[in-house]
Amino acid sequence: MNQYSAHLDPFAAGFARRRSRSHPTPGARFRRTPSAGWSTGGSARIAAGEPSPIPHHTSMTLERQLENPRPARLTYLLAPVPALAVGVLIMRMSDVPVSQWGQNVAAWAVGTLLCLGLWRTRSSPGRGRWFDVAAGLTLAALAATLLAPGVDGVHRWLPLGPVRLHAAAVLLPLLLVAMQGLAQARGWWMSTAVAVGVAVVLVLQPDGAQATAFAAGCLVLLLPLAGRDPRRLTALLSLPVLAGLAWLRRDPLAPVPHVEGIVGLAAGLGAGWVVAAVVALLVLPLPFFLAARGAGRHVGLAVGTYVAITLLAAFLTGNFPVPVMGYGVSPILGYLAGLGVLMRAAAPDGLRR
């Protein structure tokens, strides 16, 4: 139908307009606009003889994928479930009171909701510079542990009603995700100063496992940005040095069987339980390493390294809590909160400032 026949037949012209809206030009590229949802663009390219960027038969499939780009990452929420379940079963079979292992289950439920909330949070001007808040909150909370009543001279916890929260286990995963944004917005030296300040507090607590895991995560993030500047490399060298000092400080706390020694309890139940415990713990860093692509590449590697080293420290020394599997709500909350923020940061639109 040409323009003259359309002029003679208004009904046919209306039908042609409706059809052009419901069946876009083959090869047109879909793009998201702030107000009108999906629209087509690329007709001008086709008219100019340029190749079509997206085949017509896949354009609608791409539209549906871009409307919901992250359903596969929901499976990341299942990563802590094996460690949690194995730990709960071991504690039950070892006559640990339900009032203790039940806290782990409650922390997982709360942490899952927190993870989903952080992941699905939409960026807005009121939420800008969240990494500044994360850095300030972490430094303040860790410093407050030094003023709170300790246990045999060890200051790692903040009292919150009937629960004592391990401040580093809750906040350091969040801070590691925030460090990249902090370096971009405030500069490399500011982010390194925050990292060194956190490491100093971990030495004073003391907490060798957290100091080592945090130092390793920071090196993964900050070393690629340091280049070959000798001043920056020297500043980063202070992080492993401080971690070593944390190990040299005396830690008089005796290990608790269902906290630090949960794998030992598994050994008492049989070899199968040991295998189940080890496999469940190996799953814990996987979501962070799998998310180490695109926008969240270095951040995912950093948090995954942090989680892996906390596991190694607990497994090799027996003097530090086994995350998620052993009794303790703080590692569960920190793990899931860090996972939620990381998935948001690794999303296509990321965490906008």
What is the distance between the terminal CA atoms of the chain, rounded to a whole angstrom? 51
Rounded-to-integer distance, Cα 314 and Cα 267, Å: 15
pLDDT (tens place) for every residue of the chain, 353 residues total: 444 444 444 444 444 444 444 444 444 444 444 433 344 444 444 444 444 444 444 333 333 433 344 544 678 889 999 999 999 999 999 999 999 999 999 999 999 999 888 877 655 433 447 889 999 999 999 999 999 988 888 999 999 888 899 999 999 999 999 998 899 889 999 999 999 999 999 999 999 999 999 999 999 999 998 988 999 999 999 999 999 999 998 888 899 999 999 999 999 999 999 999 999 999 999 999 987 665 557 899 999 999 999 999 998 888 999 999 999 999 999 999 999 888 877 665 555 44
**How far, in Å, are 38, 142, 326 from residue 305 at the CA level?**
39, 21, 20
Rounded-to-integer distance, Cα 41 and Cα 116, Å: 34
SS3 content of the chain, % helix, strand, coil (to 5): 70, 5, 25
The pLDDT score that the predictor gives to residue 203 is 96
Query: CA 282: distance to chain centroid?
Result: 17
Tokens, residue 52:
């079509």
Query: CA 23: distance to chain centroid?
Result: 41
> Counting beta carbons within 10 angstroms of the beta carbon of residue 40, is it exposed (0 to 12), middle (13 to 18) or buried (19 or more)?
middle
Identify the CA nearest to 150 among candidates 211, 224, 232, 205. Answer: 205
Tokens, residue 321:
């809590």
Tokens, residue 216:
């390793």
Running DSSP on this structure, what letter comes out for residue 54? S
The pLDDT score that the predictor gives to residue 295 is 54
Tokens, residue 273:
């339980």
31 DSSP β-pair partners? 39
| Backbone region of residue 150 per phi and psi (left: phi > 0; alpha: psi in -120 to 50; beta: other values) | beta
Q: What are phi and psi of 147, to 5 degrees?
A: -95, -20
Q: Are 105 and 88 in contact (CB under 8 A)?
A: yes
The pLDDT score that the predictor gives to residue 348 is 53
The pLDDT score that the predictor gives to residue 346 is 64
Q: What are phi and psi of 49, to 5 degrees?
A: 90, 10
The pLDDT score that the predictor gives to residue 68 is 42
